[in-house]
Amino acid sequence: MRAVVLVGGFGTRLRPLTNDVPKPMLPVGHRPMIARLVDRLARGGVTEVVLALGFRPEPFLEAFPDNMCGDVRLSYAVEPEPLDTAGAIRFAAEQAGIDDTFVVANGDVLTDLDVGGLVAEHRRFGAQATLHLIGVDDPSAFGVVDLADDGRIRAFVEKPAPGTEPSRLINAGTYVFEPSVLELIEPGVKVSVERDTFQRLVEAGSIFGVATDDYWIDAGRPELYRAANLDLLDGARRFDRCEPVAATATVAVGATIVNSIIGDGASVADGSIVTDSVVLPNAVIESGAHVERSLVMGAIGSDAHVVDSMIGARGVVGSGAVLAGAAVPDGS
């Protein structure tokens, strides 16, 4: 089975980290985010993935020089101009010659969903499209799904007022499509799968949903990207785990690491304290620095105190500096 993975966004919410690294290539537990997503698809029977890109594929080609991610073959569909989600799906599927049932996944969603089970339900429904749904405590910030008893989606209600929502189920970003869905998407123009294509499928009565309670996180925001990493330490994931300190990292004996990940080639000096943070590959934490709830790709000087911040690859926090809620450089 083949899959289209949407990785065309520019990762603006994760700047300055994404100034130098495409969002799908940011590490989650010492491996690129895209590699963990492809692993999940492979467990569900996917053997080929086409990455729908809005930018050049070189960083992916460097990471996967043989066009293989594990046992899954990769190909790339680079949009000539931004086509939005549905436009990107059609463009990528046509580039790859997809003419059978296929999976679509958002590139910044990490989940333990059984993709093979979703495909089986799709076929049982006889659906044109089937969506993975997840329940959330507060659905008012999302598009909420009105789901019939037979699994058919009756409506999408965008950001309902509290107490008026038809359910607590939201679109979780993994779909199974028949190739006939592509015919509903006008080629070569911007089309949203959420606002346009899904609405057409609702009107046709041919879109279904499957709700699960699997682990699920949208890692496209700083606090959730950090959580996606730390969840690999505490057993929240059914399949994935990682060690807190990468094999090639250097952590001084006198450093204290608490519920944090230290990436490949990173160094943490004596007397430093790193708590609830992700220190990305090749980052430097100098002696006596305190880092809390932060994402660090650059360098933090001695005795600095950094809280709730993002330090990009070219970011340098001077010795003794105090930062809270900052982005260095400024993320623009």
What does the domain layout of the chain look like in residue ranges? 2-230, 250-328
Does the pLDDT at position 177 exceed 90?
Answer: yes
φ/ψ (deg, to 5) at 276: 50, 40
Report d(CA 282, CA 260) in Å as an integer: 15
- Measured CA to CA in angstroms, residue 274 lies from 114, 140, 226 at distances of 35, 35, 13
For the stretch 120-138, pLDDT in tens is 999 999 999 999 999 988 8
**Identity at 285, one-letter amino acid code:** I
pLDDT average, residue stretch 149-174: 87
pTM listed for this prediction: 0.90
Long-range contacts of residues 236-244, Cβ cutoff 8 Å, at least 24 apart: 237/112, 238/112, 238/214, 239/39, 239/40, 239/43, 239/112, 240/29, 240/36, 240/39, 241/29, 242/29, 242/30, 242/31, 243/30
The answer to whether 26 touches 35, Cβ cutoff 8 Å, is no
DSSP state of 161: P
Cβ-based neighbour number of residue 94 at 10 Å: 15
Least confident stretch, 4-18, 109-123, 295-309, 316-330: 4-18
d(C-alpha 71, C-alpha 48), whole Å: 9
What is the per-residue pLDDT for 332?
43
As a CATH number, domain 250-328 is: 2.160.10.10
Query: Which pLDDT does position 330 carry in this prediction?
Result: 66
Q: How many CB atoms lie within 10 A of CB 220?
A: 20
- Identical fold for domains 2-230 and 250-328, yes or no, is no
Average pLDDT value for residue range 24-43: 93
Contacts of residues 287-296 at CB distance under 8 Å and 24 or more positions apart, as own/partner, are: 287/252, 291/260, 293/226, 294/226, 295/17, 295/222, 295/225, 295/226
Number of other residues whose CB lies within 10 A of the CB of residue 258: 11
| Residue 102, CB-side half-sphere exposure with 13 Å CA sphere | 24
Q: Quickly name the fold that domain 2-230 has.
A: Spore Coat Polysaccharide Biosynthesis Protein SpsA; Chain A (3.90.550)
Omega cis (within 30) before 329: yes
Give the list of residues 6+ apart from residue 234 with CB closer than 8 angstroms, or none. Answer: 259
* Under 8 Å between Cβ of 170 and 141: no
Query: Which structure tokens are listed for 175?
Result: 């779909």
- Mean pLDDT for the stretch of residues 49-64: 86
First to last CA, the chain: 39
Among the ranges given (60-64, 277-281, 300-304), the one the predictor scored with the smallest mean pLDDT? 60-64
Asked whether the predicted pLDDT for residue 142 surpasses 90, the reply is: no
Quickly state the pLDDT bin for 13 (edges 50, 70, 90). confident
Q: Phi, psi (5° rounding) for residue 38?
A: -65, -35
* Residue 256 tokens, joined: 């204290």
Task: Please give the distance of CA 300 from its chain centroid, rounded to a whole number.
Answer: 27
